[in-house]
Structure 1
């Protein structure tokens, strides 16, 4: 241990105190030994350090910080160097606000397009997500502080995220859900990881020995710290044994005492605690070095310009019929859509950033060169229908050559803690589009949202430009694309299905009660659509440009692929070339193609460049469940270079020698997986894949409710008090939505409805402790008066203890 001498000077109580927070965002300090507290802050796309009382829901305004485009947006740039630059600026701003640990980036896979937090995640592909995350981490940590990769792992739904049990086979876990974390750790060298709320195959992730010790500490040789998500600790001792250093937020000393008693009682050895303390001290001491230097404020204008550059490179042109874009000089433009005036530029929940500057479309027209003849909102932001607004918009549209129609999803639809209800954009926006089409068919739709949406209306738009959530400078960036000042170069980091029912996880998302089964296995995103031959609206890796590119002369060696790329159009531009591999053997089921490399190249008009994309240790590997390790199958492999997963321009083959591992599967017993048609796998076949029976996915309504049951389950409680409380919560949610208070209604779902009872103690910072919670559970389970007496008695005991301190 690096800090053995210092640790030997600590009392058991002091060591235990370091294992949980001092308050909502700070860690404990030990002044007599010169150990200072750290500050942790949300920051996937901008620093959220709250100016007043801290919370985790984004209720209180943060100190102004640059709001960069979200991860889902920047992933469309396919530029890990750009991600590293974003990280550097995030790190600078973190230092200006005296933050030690920045809680991001998030690298969970986009298993399903309805996950409410997809705007915070990079991609459906682990290789792309891992490379982008590694760039962010290098940038953040180059400033001397720590990044914190999250949420480790298989946290792919928001509903019941604190209690859901994710059932997934080992190969899928390794190849799809852990690879991005592996790249983030090995290439980004992140100093901290945040464990997720959920269970993995029956055990909470931060207590999961296989995940935390065998894989993270063992195989990946991770030396950094593991931090719980806020309120995400279940059994503190089990978490400590698994190597979870820091529980956040504070529990007012309750779990520290559990650690002390566990050591005194011989349940765990003190050496286990010492090792956790040692790793935490390394994080504290290395991230406070930067604060010994003179304090420097960041350059607000410079950071705003960088945010604009990032947005420009991340915007995706999805459709451009008749080359309506870029806009021709002198065209009269009608600007329609609520999002034009009040930009939709970031997600909601724990990542809300208070921007230093905020560009709105209507304020940026003068410098764009685009001639606007006026603006109409056209629709109510939160879905309410309004015929008068549509009529006014149509009046304006009649006078214009072209309509710029700003549509998308609102802030309360995409939020931390809630999943989306559908893939549609609000009906009132579609009504507007249909009405406008009858008076002027030159419609350019500008989308603002953080995830995939259905587009049954797309034939009524001549162009579709997807800005995603472009941060505080996103509106200006979009105008620069529309005007032609910038040539679009973004490509989709996720597939857009034609309809939600086409998605591979359609029948198994979200888990509504005890568990969620990942029956689709390794076939998520394009891996499924390409293998099962399902048509999509826009494929993974797709994006248009104002120029064209020609691919030629592929040469494949054991080191990688080399080819020529020519800008065959009339304007300079950037192209994202993608390398996919496909195994020709049919002995082990595999996707038709998998992304194994990419590069983004700037090429002047008429210029040709030679491009190389190297192979690496992940190019040909697969995880063998019989040998329990990564293997290479001996086979011919097709090497594909494409402009998207569906637009392969060059092909070649190479023979790769294998590692000689035994075949992991009986082909006859897994027909769906060998065909790749896994959107509706039977439970029997899924059990053959995972090699065991799956747990019952429904609640046992006959059992009393316990710590890990949720408030939502009070609808089945024995206690009248609990059932009444449940219906009051449901009514409050309905009523608040009815009167237009949708953000407040969402908070009820996020912070109450899906909260496990243990979370009440873990998130309240010690206001309610576990003995008090026992009293609440007695009341819930039908022993109202006994529970009330117990609750009051324990509260009195707690208050007396606090007085005597």
Structure 2
């Protein structure tokens, strides 16, 4: 094995040398204008081709759960994997690597060279609205999962951009907030996952964030980019801005930013060439940025004369099968009284709107369009005997307008100012989102005047249906032959992304009959606000079904629960609760879902609750139900995976990657800046460290999770920095256990948290079998950042190493001295 590793290393190093030679040759043939143009996006997703040096256009795409490609359309579907919180809940870097391999396969299929993922910001506060897109509250776990993901993607010859560098841990005022973080907290928490991934996975890219850190915007942060990322860590990839984040030509270049996206209206391009000619920046600095972009191009195979890092891609991966496996291995069983799960033979009442209309992913740039979605209702219907399942809505959390999807079919018609049709396109539900040159065939921004989103709607329920509009400019809304709105909708906030993330405005109310198809049309006069870096067409038709009496719905669910042997209640968040673009204001489940759970549990003591959310929510009824299973945003195969786990075909494999508790008890909650600044006053104490310091008991601690068998921890031995744990499966089924190691300094006054996660490993065994796992404790677990020395120092002394099932369920301990 060592000889093979050495051979691979030699081939890589020889390939690197050849690619560097090709890069230098290409760079030497470029003039200033071409170099400056290369550093500015040519459109929303790509960099320009430079045929004179054999450089083809380099294409980027959003992730992280799938590869959307360059068009926001369902015509080219994508595999939709479970959310990053779900992937981290597997505590399995190898599974993350396999996910990355699949995403590389998807990227190559769609002509994408760079995936804009993974997100490795931390769950600093449970109110962070985008936490579903990040892995964990813990920097070590985040680094391990992130390194696996990056390794997998790049093994397929596709680049990654680890993001958002750095301290982009909330959404409120994300474009302007100045996050004030101590150097020690930066090093030990927020930079730590990036450092681990750079060291272990050699990512080909990093994306710098919108926010500032300690007074300097990240796209101009020379200290963190040039001195730390590139200087100390040896990162040799390219640095791309978050979209529209670059603000100043000179500041960005001197701060180490290589590519300003999107284009063509960026601070680079012509502005950069002019800055060189004016003497405000040097051409040598431009060359350094271009060199890194050409290096990326060489690695992914779009630069003539350079062999790509990966010639033949890995063997094909079955996307549906892997999505299903990740989902079931991510589900966290946090409560299981009286063996409620797996389900016993008998009848099941499945309750909850999310069981029928599955929420599989979070909102914002993580959105992709899968070819199919298996809802929990679909999955359980297929898995259970005929007649065993009854369904009831119970409570619908989606009481607000949302982008029109179910029951709707749409196409977009583009016209010029004279009303002539320029082109048509399909539309993924009621959403139009065309960025830059991403327009239907035959359509240009110069000729486009109106877009009509037209189609049909077949309602599932009779009664008053509400329709709304998201976007800015003039709109005409017609439902079933009646024009309900014909006016101009104006912005409510000073944000370039309001048309993408703002709440829709109700504009029509129509009485419709279940099953009777009606025509629906929303026409938009295209509006291009001043100051945007590129032209975009973005608006949406929204819909909300007729309201039903919540008490009546709950009563129907209770009646179904009484008739069944087991009641399975699915509760969920909505895209108005968890999404890119805003933070949460509380952790409560929306609507009457808490009331629903309590009513069903009172009617049937064998009640199982499935929680469909990307990040923590409060579960005030958790002691009143038999079982609680967390499924995160489970991806397109979530319903099939849920059936696997509920029926016992597979055990739930997940462990909590972040602490679950009430907002009132959460130690760190502040996400709203004051006067533009957000001080991280908690310093090193976030997540489980903060809960332990505060002496508060969460609902479910970091690392917690149950399977369908039991484990006895028999011995812990430490030899140097290697820990070996022996454990036995004492249950009646085969199982998998995640052995977690926590390191605690014994001497006071270190200023560190009481303990930190220092390692983990998975053990698998059959009933009665014992198994041993070995974990090498990393040097960094014994180190602390010294702000005076500006360096890492080993904290010498006595430590306790504990092996267990969670941060609070520590089974065995042993001393260790350094």
Aligned match of 1:363: 378
- Decide whether the 8 Å contact of 2:248 with 2:267 is kept in 1: no
The size of the alignment, in residue pairs, is: 645
Q: Find the aligned partners of 2:587 and 2:714 in 1 and give their Cα distance.
A: 38
Aligned match of 1:307: 323
**Does residue 349 of the first structure (1) align with residue 353 of the second (2)?**
no
Relative to the length of structure 1, the TM-score reads 0.78
Aligned match of 2:30: 10
Displacement of 1:621: 0.8
Q: 1:99 to 1:435 in 2, by over 3 A?
A: same
Displacement of 1:292: 12
Q: 1:25 to 1:556 in 2, by over 3 A?
A: same
Displacement of 1:308: 0.3
Q: Secondary structure at the match of 2:43?
A: coil
- Decide whether the 8 Å contact of 2:45 with 2:70 is kept in 1: no
- Decide whether the 8 Å contact of 2:331 with 2:631 is kept in 1: yes
**Does residue 574 of the first structure (1) align with residue 590 of the second (2)?**
no
Q: Find the aligned partners of 2:138 and 2:188 in 1 and give their Cα distance.
A: 10
Structure with the greater relative contact order (CA < 8 A, sep ≥ 6): 1 or 2?
2
Q: Secondary structure at the match of 2:269?
A: helix
- Decide whether the 8 Å contact of 1:45 with 1:67 is kept in 2: yes
Q: Find the aligned partners of 2:358 and 2:707 in 1 and give their Cα distance.
A: 24
Displacement of 1:295: 11
Displacement of 1:61: 4.3
- Decide whether the 8 Å contact of 1:409 with 1:449 is kept in 2: yes
Q: 1:288 to 1:178 in 2, by over 3 A?
A: same
Aligned match of 1:540: 702
Aligned match of 1:429: 593
Q: Secondary structure at the match of 2:644?
A: helix
- Decide whether the 8 Å contact of 1:96 with 1:296 is kept in 2: no
Q: Find the aligned partners of 1:372 and 1:460 in 2 and give their Cα distance.
A: 25
Aligned match of 1:334: 349
Q: 1:30 to 1:612 in 2, by over 3 A?
A: same
Q: Find the aligned partners of 2:622 and 2:181 in 1 and give their Cα distance.
A: 36
Q: Deviations over 1:415-470 (max 9, x none)?
A: 01111121010241112223223322321000100001111111221100111111
Q: Find the aligned partners of 1:544 and 1:407 in 2 and give their Cα distance.
A: 20
Aligned match of 1:737: none
Displacement of 1:346: 0.6
**Does residue 440 of the first structure (1) align with residue 440 of the second (2)?**
no
2:111 is aligned, of 98, 110, 113, to 98
**Does residue 320 of the first structure (1) align with residue 320 of the second (2)?**
no
Displacement of 1:282: 0.8
Aligned match of 2:61: 41
1:633 is aligned, of 790, 795, 800, to 795
Q: How does 1:684-699 map to 2 (within 5 A)?
A: none
Aligned match of 2:808: 646
Q: Find the aligned partners of 1:90 and 1:42 in 2 and give their Cα distance.
A: 11
**Does residue 394 of the first structure (1) align with residue 409 of the second (2)?**
no
Aligned match of 2:780: 618
Aligned match of 2:727: 565
**Does residue 259 of the first structure (1) align with residue 272 of the second (2)?**
yes
Q: Find the aligned partners of 1:435 and 1:111 in 2 and give their Cα distance.
A: 34
Structure 1, unpaired ranges of 5+: 53-59, 657-805
Aligned match of 2:209: 196
- Decide whether the 8 Å contact of 2:249 with 2:267 is kept in 1: no
Q: Find the aligned partners of 1:292 and 1:580 in 2 and give their Cα distance.
A: 38
- Decide whether the 8 Å contact of 2:37 with 2:48 is kept in 1: yes
Displacement of 1:604: 1.1
Q: 1:391 to 1:298 in 2, by over 3 A?
A: farther
RMSD value over aligned CA atoms? 2.0
- Decide whether the 8 Å contact of 2:659 with 2:700 is kept in 1: yes
Aligned match of 2:395: 379
Out of 83-92 and 261-270, give the one that drifted further.
261-270
Q: Find the aligned partners of 2:280 and 2:665 in 1 and give their Cα distance.
A: 50
Q: Deviations over 1:537-585 (max 9, x none)?
A: 1000000111111112211121311121111111000000011111112
Structure 2, unpaired ranges of 5+: 1-19, 400-546
Relative to the length of structure 2, the TM-score reads 0.77
Q: Secondary structure at the match of 2:228?
A: helix
- Decide whether the 8 Å contact of 1:159 with 1:512 is kept in 2: no
Displacement of 1:365: 2.8
Q: Find the aligned partners of 2:674 and 2:368 in 1 and give their Cα distance.
A: 31
Q: Find the aligned partners of 2:812 and 2:396 in 1 and give their Cα distance.
A: 47
Q: Find the aligned partners of 1:141 and 1:296 in 2 and give their Cα distance.
A: 10
- Decide whether the 8 Å contact of 1:304 with 1:357 is kept in 2: no
**Does residue 505 of the first structure (1) align with residue 668 of the second (2)?**
yes
Higher strand share: 2
Out of 3-12 and 212-221, give the one that drifted further.
3-12
Q: How does 1:738-777 map to 2 (within 5 A)?
A: none
Q: Find the aligned partners of 1:578 and 1:454 in 2 and give their Cα distance.
A: 25
Q: Find the aligned partners of 2:700 and 2:278 in 1 and give their Cα distance.
A: 60
Q: Deviations over 1:283-311 (max 9, x none)?
A: 012212699999999978x2101110111
Q: 1:418 to 1:541 in 2, by over 3 A?
A: same
Displacement of 1:372: 3.1
Q: How does 1:91-170 map to 2 (within 5 A)?
A: 91-170=104-183
Q: Deviations over 1:685-706 (max 9, x none)?
A: xxxxxxxxxxxxxxxxxxxxxx
Q: Find the aligned partners of 2:203 and 2:145 in 1 and give their Cα distance.
A: 13
Q: Find the aligned partners of 1:513 and 1:93 in 2 and give their Cα distance.
A: 43
Q: Find the aligned partners of 1:254 and 1:632 in 2 and give their Cα distance.
A: 43
Aligned match of 1:241: 254
Q: Secondary structure at the match of 1:90?
A: helix
- Decide whether the 8 Å contact of 1:150 with 1:194 is kept in 2: yes
1:492 is aligned, of 634, 656, 668, to 656
Aligned match of 1:21: 41
